[in-house]
Amino acid sequence: MKYGRILLTLIGITLAIGCAARHVTTFIHPEYDFGLIERVAVVQFENLSTEQTASGYATRLFVTELLAANAFDIVEPGETSRVLANVGQGKAAELDLVGLQKMADSLGIQAVIFGSVGESAQLSGRTSSSHVISLNARMVDCASGNTVWSASVSTGGPGSFARLLGVGESTRGDAVRKAVRQLVKSLLD
């Protein structure tokens, strides 16, 4: 009995050390039929962080995870950028219904995914470091202009036991990959 408690305590500590804080908020339109979506465009994520390359990296990982899930056909990013330039409306994340419908006609898509990197930073302690990231993404139906899915994910940073013991490192790639996987999971589950 005594050894069982010790073992459970050690397992709990190990899990706490290995797990970084993760916060996910998701909205899914209750009446939308996601079965109607066959092809989507993913717009380059907007960068709201101080790390210059964060949005490009997050966008590429997001597209890769969507492709790996085999849920939708994904328009090549270069083609999406070309059509966005032709639509010619200020910021991509602020497209109006006319712009969305032009994209839909040009690319043969039913929805567009917009995203942003809110935070991307390296946290360093005395004996360890970790990376934190926050991502937001939303899918907009091209026919109606309605947001049908939206999610926000924050991940990374050391857990409380990791901070206490001064262990556990996460790279930018690990943190972004975890956050992107949570975004995709929230869309497809």
3-state secondary structure of 157: coil
Structure tokens at 24: 């996910």
CA distance 160 to 108: 48
What is residue 16's predicted lDDT score, i.e. its pLDDT?
42
pLDDT at 33: 95
Domain that holds residue 119: 2-188
pLDDT at 157: 57
To the nearest 10°, report the CA torsion of 4, 10, 13, 14. -120
3-state secondary structure of 118: strand
The residue count of the chain comes to 189
Beta bridge partners of 130: 123
Query: How far apart are alpha carbons 176 and 115 in whole angstroms?
Result: 13
Give pLDDT, residue 129.
59
Instruction: Output the domain CATH number for residue 109.
Output: 3.40.50.10610
The domain tally of the chain equals: 1
pLDDT in tens, the chain (189 residues): 565 555 444 444 444 434 444 789 999 999 999 999 999 999 999 998 877 888 899 999 999 999 999 999 999 999 999 998 888 665 666 788 999 999 999 999 999 999 999 866 555 554 555 678 889 999 999 999 999 999 999 887 554 444 444 445 467 678 888 899 999 999 998
Cα 25 from chain centroid (whole Å): 11
* Residue 95: predicted pLDDT: 83
Crossing angle for the helix pair 54-69 and 172-188, to the nearest 10 degrees: 40
What is the per-residue pLDDT for 53? 82
> Among candidates 125, 177, 123, 188, which has minimal Cα distance to 153?
177
